């Protein structure tokens, strides 16, 4: 059994397929920010939050990843192993946008910290928020049943 497992790993590495792409079995859901729809992967567990959008080579225009945490806190994100330029927005418990950052791919020196306690982070293609006129105090529209674990 171990041999088969290693053969599969070797195949995927030689095919230039990332583990993040293989394991992108995160729940998909359509959400909105101020009425602008997005198809997002839900990152609601520690493992999913840690992997995030690492190793992805592209993200479609109206797609992203919604990170949901178990409780509000000061959050920090970086772009380790992240290949595409992203924008991140932090949202508080009232689902109001607190701040947006444009993030630089493939770097670990810059950390993008929330300035207040937040419970949601939304990553999209860089510039998506600006193109859709989304700014501070915009509302994240998601089902109330979504909770971080």
Beta-carbon contacts of residue 147 (< 8 Å; ≥ 6 apart): 44, 68, 70
Q: Each residue of 84-133: pLDDT tens digit?
A: 999 999 999 999 999 999 999 998 889 999 999 999 999 999 999 999 99
- At 33 the three-state DSSP class reads strand
CATH at 59: 2.60.120.1140
3 occurs within a structural domain = no
Q: How far is it, in rounded angstroms, from Cα 9 to Cα 21?
A: 13
User: Residue 61 phi/psi, 5° resolution?
Assistant: -50, -50
pLDDT digits (tens, 9 = 90+) for 125-137: 999 999 999 999 9
Strand 63-73 and strand 36-43: the pairing is parallel
Give the pLDDT confidence of 7-31 residue by residue, as tens digits: 333 333 333 333 333 345 678 999 9
On the question of pLDDT at 148 being above 70, the answer is yes
Domain count, the chain: 1
Domain that holds residue 110: 24-141
Residue 76 in contact with residue 41, Cβ under 8 Å? no
Report the predicted TM-score, pTM, of the whole model to 2 decimal places: 0.81
In a domain, residue 37? The reply is: yes
């Amino acid at each position: 059994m171990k041999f088969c497992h290693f053969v599969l790993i070797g195949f995927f590495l030689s095919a230039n397929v990332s583990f993040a792409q293989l394991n992108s079995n995160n729940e998909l859901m359509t959400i909105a920010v101020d009425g602008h729809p997005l198809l997002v992967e839900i990152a609601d567990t520690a493992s999913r939050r840690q992997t995030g959008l690492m190793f992805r080579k592209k993200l479609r225009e109206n797609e992203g990843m919604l990170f949901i945490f178990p409780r509000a806190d000061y959050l920090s994100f970086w772009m380790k192993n992240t290949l595409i330029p992203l924008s991140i927005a932090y949202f508080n418990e009232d689902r109001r946008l607190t701040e947006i950052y444009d993030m630089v791919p493939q770097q670990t020196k810059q950390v993008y910290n929330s300035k207040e306690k937040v419970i949601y982070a939304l990553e999209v293609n860089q510039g998506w928020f600006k193109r859709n006129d989304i700014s501070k105090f915009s509302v994240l529209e998601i089902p109330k049943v979504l909770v971080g674990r």
